[in-house]
Amino acid sequence: MSSHPTFGVEEEFLLVDPDSGEPVPFNTRVAERAKADGVDLQLELTSCQVETATEVCGTVADLRSQLHRLRRVAGEAAEAAGSRLLAVGLPPTLPQHFPITDSERYRRIADRFGMVAHEQGICGCHVHVAVPDRDAAIRVSNRLRPWLPLLLALTANSAIYRNADSGYASWRRVLWSRWPSAGPPPHFDSAGDYDDSVQRMKDVGVMLDDGMVYWDVRPSEKFPTVEVRVADVPATVGETVLHAALTRAAVMTVLEEDKHQVPVPDIRAHELAAAYWNSARYGIDGPAVDPFGNVPGTAPAIDVLRALVDRVSPALRAVGDLDVVTDELTRIYEQGNGAMRQRAAWARRGEVSDVIESSAAATGEGC
């Protein structure tokens, strides 16, 4: 555990009307406002979304500071542009439509994928962790596959959708799975095998380009990193920091296992699908599938999360993150994650405005 890989985070946010909570197509004007304050926001497929990206970080303290600043600047830019910034996996309200961002690439995606694209409005969180090379990224991807559902459960933040309780902690996961290139990645033998598979998917038209590799883990096309994309955008900066710290520790752990030739976990596609469904359904407020196979069936999600922390604790200690992770998990046990906060707000009166207010407060917490 002598290596301390750098990492970084991308967060996607929803722009909504300050009064109604409906998504609004203001991404261009919000990005222009943020740029004046030194923050470059990325435009997403639908014009009611923006994305932030941290610089390369070496420590959790640096990451937390950057996330706070980015949310603050993006929130102020949204307000100045006549909208509100929400860290939610999906809009809690009943949106009429999601206008497509006016760019050639996004228009091509909308033409090819129809309603799947026009019903997007999905906000996730992507964690980049530095790895030695692309082959290492593929080996990490193979080893992380069983861990992905648990990271989804931890970050679930899309329980309320279309003015109703969806019955799921992460309804975003259910909608996101409609894309033919989304979900857990297959097992690949090498970077070359990965490249061949992506090319075949482009050849048959289910991906238009490399940017549509939507698998929940992938080697980054832009950076020397492995990119973990499974999460809903977390409700708070603290939850994003927790997710990123655990993800980095998991990458470090599986690299160490790879170094010592520990066998790659053998998980069948239907077993992985069942674990994903379970995590999307319950989040951390119910049962979870043990990715290490120590518990048959399911176990309380909190217990499985504790087992994950134990599993990666050497890596957490090596980078000085164990106390941070323990403290953030304790806070989530006491206060709930994003999905649990949404449900608590909804339960008060059955009014989506309460969910909007709760989500807005969580988005800006500490910023």
Neighbouring C-beta atoms of residue 90, cutoff 10 Å: 27
Average pLDDT over residues 246-274: 93
* Nearest Cα to Cα of residue 137 among 57, 10, 227: 227
Q: How far apart are CA 213 and CA 74, in angstroms?
A: 27
Looking at this protein, which amino acid is placed at residue 205?
A: G
CA–CA distances in Å: residue 258 to residues 100, 253, 365: 42, 9, 38
pLDDT digits (tens, 9 = 90+) for 126-178: 999 999 999 999 999 999 999 999 999 999 999 999 999 999 999 999 999 99
Q: How far apart are CA 252 and CA 28, in angstroms?
A: 38
- Does the pLDDT value for residue 122 go beyond 50? yes
Looking at this protein, which amino acid is placed at residue 244?
A: A
Domain boundaries, the chain: 7-363
Assign residue 225 a region (left: φ > 0; alpha: ψ between -120 and 50; beta: otherwise): beta
Assign residue 297 a region (left: φ > 0; alpha: ψ between -120 and 50; beta: otherwise): left
Average pLDDT over residues 283-298: 85
- Which residues are within 8 A (CB) of 57 and not within 5 positions of it... i.e. 6 or more apart? 6, 7, 8, 9, 63, 66
Check the CA dihedral 30-32-34-36 and report its sign.
negative
Rg of the chain taking only CA atoms, in angstroms: 19
Collapsing DSSP to helix, strand or coil, 159 comes out as coil
pLDDT at residue number 293: 74
- Which residues are within 8 A (CB) of 350 and not within 5 positions of it... i.e. 6 or more apart? none
Query: Where do we find the tokens 């674990």?
Result: 275
Q: Half-sphere exposure of residue 120, counting CA atoms within 13 Å on the CB side?
A: 24
Give percent of the chain with pLDDT exceeding 90: 88
- Which residues are within 8 A (CB) of 174 and not within 5 positions of it... i.e. 6 or more apart? 166, 168, 280
- Does the pLDDT value for residue 307 go beyond 50? yes
Contact indicator for 14, 8 with CB cutoff of 8 Å? no
* Nearest Cα to Cα of residue 229 among 241, 242, 220, 238: 220
Collapsing DSSP to helix, strand or coil, 165 comes out as strand
- Does the pLDDT value for residue 120 go beyond 90? no
CA–CA distances in Å: residue 191 to residues 70, 131, 252, 273: 33, 13, 19, 24
pLDDT at residue number 83: 97
Structure tokens at 326: 């323990």
Average pLDDT over residues 228-240: 98
Average pLDDT over residues 76-81: 97
Which residues share a beta bridge with 125? 11, 231
Least confident segment among 92-106, 140-154, 271-285, 352-366: 92-106
* Nearest Cα to Cα of residue 149 among 91, 216, 194: 216
Q: How far apart are CA 186 and CA 194, in angstroms?
A: 9
Q: How confident is the model at residue 195 (pLDDT cuts 50, 70, 90)?
A: very high
Q: How confident is the model at residue 96 (pLDDT cuts 50, 70, 90)?
A: low
For the chain, count helices (H), then strands (E).
14, 11
pLDDT at residue number 1: 45
Domain covering 7-363, topology: Creatine Kinase; Chain A, domain 2 (3.30.590)
pLDDT digits (tens, 9 = 90+) for 167-189: 999 999 999 999 999 999 999 99
CA 325 to chain centre: 17
pLDDT digits (tens, 9 = 90+) for 337-366: 999 999 999 999 999 999 999 999 999 999
More confident residue, 326 or 294: 326
Predicted structure pTM score: 0.96
Check the CA dihedral 300-305-306-308 and report its sign.
positive
Give percent of the chain with pLDDT exceeding 70: 98
Secondary structure, 3-state, 98-109: CCECCCHHHHHH
Check the CA dihedral 151-155-161-165 and report its sign.
positive
Average pLDDT over residues 260-264: 93
Structure tokens at 141: 């991807």
pLDDT at residue number 2: 45
